[in-house]
Each structure stands twice: as C-alpha cells, then as structure tokens.
Amino acid sequence: MAEKRDALGLPLLFLLITVILLHLFICPFTKVEESFNLQAVHDILYHRSNFEKYDHHEFPGVVPRTFLGPLFLSTLCSPVVFLSSLLDAPKFYTQLIVRGCLGVCVSAALWHMQREVRRQFGSTVAGLFCLTCASQFHLMFYSTRTLPNVFALPLVLLAFSSWMAHKYGSFISLSALVIIVFRSELCLFLGLMLMMSLLSRKLRLLEMFYYAVPAGALSLALTVAVDSFFWRKMLWPEGQVLWYNTILNKSSNWGISPFLWYFYSAVPRALGCTLLLVPLGLLDRRMRPLLLPTVGFILLYSALPHKELRFIIYTVPVLNLVAARGCSFILSNYHKSWMYKLGSVVVVGQLLTNAAYSSVSLYVSHHNYPGGVGLQELHRLLPATSDVFVHIDAYAAETGVSRFLEQNTNWRYDKREDLSPGSPHMKMYSHLLMEANVTKIRLLHHTHQPLAFVEGYNNIALNMFHFPPFSVRLERKTVLLERMNDVL
C-alpha cells in the first residue's frame, strides 16, 4: 500500500520540480540577499582549502551566517559540478546546478509533506495541495534562492510532517537543528506546535527533554565548530543574528512595516486566490490545530518592525494544505447540486488565476537583474583573451552579479566599494559595470565611454484595449563603460 501511495505521488513530485526549475531558468540570477550563501558555495567548490580567497573575508556582511547550508549544498551538487567541469561548461552553469539542487530539496520536502497529507486526508487533498503550491509564484520562486529562510524551509516542512504524524523525536530533532543553525525566529512557529502537543498530553515533558537536550547540544556544537573554523573566531552565527535583529532591533534599519502587514499584504500575495478557500478548509476540525500555530507565528512575528514575505515563507504550505481541504470538500460533492458545480469552477479558476499571476510575476522578475545581464554581456562582447580589468559597482553587484559569473580566469574582477565615479583610481579599470546614472556617467566621460546599456524593469502599464491588457516598461538600469584608448 505504501508503494502504491508513493507511485501516485511521483507525478506530483515531478510537477513541483518542473515548476521550480522553470522559475530558475527564467530568473537565473540572484540578488544581494542571497550573496553570502551563493558565494560560500562557490568558494567551497572552486577554492576548496584555499581559505584565503573566500569571499566572506572581504565582504562579511552585516552579521555572520552559517557555512553548514553551503557545505551541505556544495556536497550535494559536487558530482554534477564535477561532470560539468569535465565538459568544460561555463561556470555560470554551476550556479544553475547549485540553485537547482536547493530547489530539488524543497520539492522533496513538499512531496514528503504531501505523503503525510495523503495518509491522513486522502489523495484528493494531497493532489490539490501540490497543485496549489505549484500555482503560486512566491513559493516556487523562492525555492531556488540561496537565502537562510530557504535553507531552513525543507527542514521546517519535514518537522511539520513529523509533528502531523506524532513522530515527536524527529520533530524535536529537526526543530532544534533549524532553529539553532538557520533561523532562530522559528522557535515561535515550531515552539507553538510543541506547546500544543504538551498541552494536549500527546507529548510528555520528560519525553520532550529526552529528545531536545541532545538534539540542541549537537546542533549547537556542530554550528559553533564549523563556523568558528570558517570565520576564524569562536562564533555561533545564528546567535549573533538573533541578538542583532531581535534584541537590538537593528533589522529595522532596512525598513519598517505596520503590525498587520503580513496579514493584509504578504499572505494575500503569497497565496493569491487560494486565500479565499482557507476558511472553507476549517470546516474539517482536523485542520484547526494545523492552522493555529501558523497564524500564531505570523501574529507573534509581526511584532518585529522589519518585515519581508520570505520571513514567513514556511507558513505558505500549511495554509495551502488547509485550502486544499476546502477545495476537496467542494470537488467531492460535485454531483450533489449546482452550487457545488459552481464551486468546482471556482476551485479550478483560482488555480488558473494563480498560474496567470505567476506567469506575469515571473516575466517581470526576469527583467530585474541588470547587473547579472550586464556582466554576461561583457563576456559576449569581448574575446576571452582580452586584457580586462572590470570594476563592478554596488548596484550591479546587488542585481545579479556573483562569483559564478566570473567566467574568464585571465580577467580581473573587482567589487571594491570605496571608489566613486570621479576618483582618479577609476582610470586603472579597462571596463566598468555600473548603475546607468547620467550624473555618474558624465563624471567618467574623460576616461570611459559607453559600450552597452542594459535595460531592466521600470513599471507596468495598463491598456484595456489591448491583449494582454498590460505591458512591462523597461528603462536603462546598468551600463558597461570601456576605457578610451588615450587614457593611461
């Protein structure tokens, strides 16, 4: 029976992997928030034991992050990377492989969750759960992003599945690992589940300590040992992140949002039309205990002023599960009345609407990485044998540039941040990749001339008399400058 259930779920696994990889291939570049983990994977794969060349020594970031995620990911994808190196494939393909492996991990965790959903609620709910996840832009888009939240996501999904199955040993061990190593704020989400199990007497207090103490000690010892080695000082990275973001509240330096922002902005955008069907799923009493820690986590985490959708990405699959139960209630009663037939149309319609929204969002996101496109354009315009010394400014570095795009070993790439366009030191660079700011370009007109401009997303224009009734407007975002021949 178990083998039959697995066989039924395999097409859903392939669906999730396909959609996630589609998002990856359409948006192959990364943003600055992903840079630490991505550069760390690059350094582990290419610099290996030459620790002096590791990127984090030069660009440590605001707070240190753990190397355990990059170590795991680089180990996982190393056989495919080795094969690509034998084929002499460009290093940029390695970035796709690395992110693709992370996406497969998220897909496998979602599939594992649907197996438990299938066991408890039936195949219809499991199928609708996977279809709903695949139809939503943000969950699929973030699944290949090398963010600490995404490294934590598969572990959270595995822990949640264990909690659903009352496998408290696995639940507590996975919770300890993900909280101590990757995202400390998950103590709220997973802690609420633990509290519910204790209050309902499904888990005894001594049993909790039996699993929690060794799991917590091992997780802490692992991250301190590994990260102290890489950072060259005694360090618990996530402890510093907790202190910086929560105790000192320094995360608010990156902007603050109203208390209820997650509820009226982030959750509706993440779920799309599926949000309308979440209340219907609560008709099944078994869904209410699953939703309680999810809503509780969002509510408690709203106390932190700085908010981003990715901070609550773990709650999206749970909300999708509750909505999938509501959808299955409608579909299973399809033959009873015209009301259910109309409801079935709504169920299918919300999936199609989500998919349409995802398509538009994906198209817009494709034009959101002018830095990465600019560096690729430089490689296309100049032969690999050229003597190139290129400076990459902060804007370009934040919008797609990574070490994986440094394709030619004889070229020199520099991302130093202490130079301004008017600095005399700019003369030493044969090429500049920078923000297409007219004022900055004019400051360089005596030494460098434009080689190419890269356009990026500006806004969306609506026109109800055309199909589709919108168009994406682009504008110049980055520029490639080339040093003039008469400049020393």
Among 136, 164, 163, 165, residue whose Cα is nearest residue 355: 136
| Model pLDDT for residues 380-394, shown as the tens digit of each residue | 999 999 999 999 999
* pLDDT tops 70 at residue 2: no
* Beta carbons of 120 and 328 less than 8 angstroms apart: no
pLDDT digits (tens, 9 = 90+) for 147-172: 999 999 999 999 999 999 999 999 99
Which residue shows structure tokens 């982030």? 266
**Distances in whole angstroms, Cα of residue 233 to Cα of each of 39, 53, 228, 479, 487:** 20, 17, 5, 40, 45
pLDDT at 1 over 50: no
Summarised one tens digit per residue, pLDDT across range 320-355 is: 999 999 999 999 988 888 898 999 999 999 999 999
Specify the DSSP class assigned to residue 276. Answer: G
Structure tokens at 2: 């178990």
On whether the CB atoms of residues 22 and 135 are closer than 8 A, the answer is no
Angle subtended by helix axes 205-231 and 186-199, to nearest 10: 160
What predicted TM-score, i.e. pTM, was given to this entire model? Answer: 0.94
Q: Reply yes or no on whether the pLDDT at 5 is more than 60.
A: no
- How many Cβ atoms from other residues are within 10 Å of residue 240's Cβ? 16
More confident residue, 246 or 281: 281
Least confident of 241-250, 465-474, 477-486: 465-474
Distance from C-alpha of 450 to C-alpha of 462, rounded to nearest angstrom? 33
At residue 488, the pLDDT reads 62
User: For all residues of the chain together, what is the average pLDDT?
Assistant: 94
Q: Which residue, among 142, 56, 133, has the nearest Cα to 102 in the 3D structure?
A: 142
Per-residue pLDDT, 171: 98
Give how far the C-alpha of residue 244 lies from the chain's centroid of Cα atoms, to the nearest Å: 22
Q: What is the percent of the chain where pLDDT is above 70?
A: 98
Burial of 8 (0-12, 13-18, 19+ CB in 10 A): middle
pLDDT for residue 310: 96
* pLDDT tens, residue by residue, 402-446: 999 999 999 999 999 888 888 888 999 999 999 999 999 999 999
Nearest to 421 by CA among 431, 410, 434, 408: 434
- pLDDT of residue 112 exceeding 90, the answer is yes
Q: CA-CA distance, 42 to 70, in Å (whole number)? A: 9
d(CA 315, CA 349): 23
